[in-house]
Structure 1
């Protein structure tokens, strides 16, 4: 445990205790509700991508899967690092707003921040303009985990970066085969339900080639 990080944790949790009750309750709700919001964004992005090209649909379908991969990797890393939660390890800290997870539920990196970072970036890969929404949501979700007292600042910072890197790498590595699969699933010979899931056949915009005239 870094001394400066523990001091920052104490400063944030002290501030949290001094905020109005409605702010505290909102933070406690948001720390979990943010996951549901990202889930809703995955669904709406998939639905829109059904009318787009096979590649765009493949990326939209890969986004939640890559986020799940990042979460699993985060869990594995947590078991290796085995860092105690600050709500038990930091002496003299204010009682956390949220219940301190039981012993053995390690702190580094933050799973919530990992999911938030992964979801924010993969959704932006599927639809670039979403980054203006997903990035602030991810940062707010990560900060809320420190605010309610269950993570150090470095837990959530690492979680955001780790989740984003793992998920984006997973999408980049699997986009080509996933696009081919989407094209096959959209074929006329595929079952009706499969074609409903993937959407109708859509061809991408033709690349315009410059014409040269003398």
Structure 2
């Protein structure tokens, strides 16, 4: 079963390389994936949200969720699983950006994107903002496949861990409110 999954992971990446990569998308997705380095795009957006009363809760909780995600993915899981990057194991795969971390499972970029988007989907005041956040998170996960630095299962795991971290941040917020009352700064 695991061998089948690993084989499918590699086949999907080779298919993307062969049939999806193109001159138009390559520079755009390469830039977009690099904006996710260290979660910077999500951190900047969260900090900007802190500046506005209507989005302050979304900004604060997404920072907490991303911190949880960082601990789960980059500090714990990547080192425990130690799965090598696709270009090291999939023959014929060309990667488009350089990754210094040799471990690929789970995708930290995708985790950060879904940790933020998961919180934003629940807390942002306008529907279009929620769906935009979700689309941007999905695009981040796809960009990691497109540039050849993650397997599909890395991205799926990053998505699930990110959503779990968003849920944990929300539950922590609810527990604090229940115990000590509303956090006025976030209201």
Deviation at 1:33, TM superposition (A): 1.9
Q: Structure 2: how far apart are the matches of 1:44 and 1:180?
A: 25
Q: Check the 8 A contact 1:59/1:175 in 2, yes or no.
A: no
| Contact map agreement 2:58 2:124 (CA 8 A) in 1 | no
Contact 2:42 2:116 in 1 (8 A): yes
* Residue 5 of structure 1: how far off its partner (Å): 1.4
Q: Does 1:13 align with 2:17?
A: yes
Name the structure where helix makes up a greater proportion of residues: 2
- How high is the TM-score relative to the length of structure 1? 0.72
Q: Is contact 1:77–1:109 with CA below 8 Å preserved after alignment?
A: yes
The alpha-carbon distance between structure 1 residues 30 and 59, as it changes in their structure 2 partners (threshold 3 A), is closer
- How many residue pairs end up in the alignment? 176
With over 3 angstroms needed to count, the CA separation of the structure-2 counterparts of 1:58 and 1:26, relative to structure 1, is: closer
Superposed counterparts of 1:98-137, under 5 Å: 98-99=97-98, 101-102=99-100, 105-127=102-124, 129=127, 130-137=129-136
> How far apart in 2 are the matches of 1:140 and 1:58?
24
| 1:154 aligned onto 2:156 | no
Shift of 1:113: 0.4
What is the alpha-carbon distance in structure 2 between the residues aligned to residue 59 and residue 16 of structure 1? 34
CA RMSD of aligned residues (A): 2.4
Indicate the residue corresponding to 1:47 in structure 2.
51
Q: Which structure has the greater CA radius of gyration?
A: 1
Query: Is the contact made by 1:42 and 1:123 (CA closer than 8 Å) also made in structure 2?
Result: no
CA distance in 2, matches of 1:97, 1:16: 14
Instruction: Show the counterpart of 1:84.
Output: 84
Alignment of 1:65-84 (within 5 A): 65-75=64-74, 76-84=76-84
- The TM-score with structure 2 as length reference comes to 0.82
